[in-house]
Amino acid sequence: MNRRNFIKRSGSLSLAVAGLPLAKKMQPQYTKSIYSNVVDHSKPNQYEYSIEVYHNALTNFAKATEEEKNIKLFSFLYEKSGEYVYKDTFQYLLPIASITKDSKDANTYIIKTKSALREFGKLEWPKELAANPTFKIKINESAVLLDKTGKTFTTMKLKTVDDDEECFITTACVTEKGLADNCDELTTLRSLRENYMRQTPQGETLLAEYQTLGPAVVAAISHCENRKEIYDYLYQNMITPSVAMIKNGEYQDAVDWYQGFSKELKMKYC
């Protein structure tokens, strides 16, 4: 990049990070957990299912907030084998109707839902599922979505830091928007990480720093009342420009842009 373009881009970055929303009223220190099933992308017509749930609502429903008393269910259809961009999707808000402990396992909770509300997407609701499905969740291990007969429809495993493959902030942003784990944004940024950043000592150093910074930023934002506003801003002003730079072959510019935002996020929210 020539000096003029460098100065122009640096000025754009300064303006972009200056517009980050202020963190509003902090919530109780509870965060949602995500469970997802395994998708075999080598086969056609594969469905990915995932849920977001607050564990504290399962263990102490009476003290949970109204937001925490819901489960969000996502589904993504990958129509062609080898395809990592979904064809269709849905997101449902499932208010919790009742919670009981499994008589055979004290760490497993049986959750019945009510008043299912489609929030977005046109993917059809599976005919095997009840209109208001039931889940069996073993905290920090697995979540089983039951069909109409009470049998297993799909089993989802808890997503961990390793599952997010170090793309902590991007993963949080796209999850908030209901995008798949293999969406274009995550795939593109993971490619930058593996094919560009890991090839240099500087890149490896930045990735090592980000392993500490990323989770801290995500944890801090998750406690903000206006986290949706924050993640929407990051998606539009941090992630989307970075992806565009990568696709344009401007790899170091993308690294600098993402790094500039990350440092500001630490100062602003952590």
- Taking only the tens place, the pLDDT of each residue in 12-30 is 788 788 888 887 755 555 6
State the average pLDDT for the chain.
87
Shared domain check, 173 and 259:
yes
> Measured between alpha carbons, how far is 238 from 34 in angstroms, rounded to an integer?
23
Point out which residues pair with 142 in neighbouring strands: 138, 157
pLDDT bracket for residue 128 (50, 70, 90): very high
Examine residue 234 and state whether it is found in any structural domain, yes or no.
yes
Examine residue 193 and state whether it is found in any structural domain, yes or no.
yes
71-110, pLDDT tens digit by residue?
999 999 999 888 777 889 999 999 999 999 999 888 899 9
Domain total of the chain: 2
Place of tokens 């373009």: 5
| Residue 232 lies in domain | 163-269
Shared domain check, 138 and 181:
no
168 vs 9: which has the higher pLDDT: 168
Shared domain check, 171 and 152:
no
Q: How many residues does the chain have?
A: 270
Shared domain check, 58 and 151:
yes
pLDDT for res 56: 92
48 vs 263: which has the higher pLDDT: 48
Give me the helices (H) in 118-239, please: 168-176, 184-195, 201-222, 227-234
Examine residue 171 and state whether it is found in any structural domain, yes or no.
yes
> Measured between alpha carbons, how far is 268 from 36 in angstroms, rounded to an integer?
31
Shared domain check, 167 and 147:
no
Share of the chain above pLDDT 70, in %: 91
174-230, pLDDT tens digit by residue?
888 888 777 889 889 988 998 899 898 888 888 888 877 887 788 788 778 888 899
222 vs 143: which has the higher pLDDT: 143
What Cα–Cα distance (Å) separates residue 38 from each residue in 26, 50, 172, 193, 226? 34, 10, 19, 23, 31
Q: End of a domain among 103, 131, 158?
A: 158
pLDDT for res 2: 47
Shared domain check, 148 and 175:
no
The CA R_g of the chain, rounded to the nearest whole Å, is 20
Q: End of a domain among 123, 158, 193?
A: 158
Tokens of 59: 């263990």
- Evaluate whether 60 touches 69 at the Cβ level (below 8 Å): no
Q: End of a domain among 158, 179, 200?
A: 158
Shared domain check, 188 and 236:
yes
Tokens of 188: 């593109």
Shared domain check, 203 and 108:
no
Share of the chain above pLDDT 90, in %: 51
Average pLDDT of span 35-55:
92
| Sign of the CA dihedral running 148, 154, 189, 14 | positive
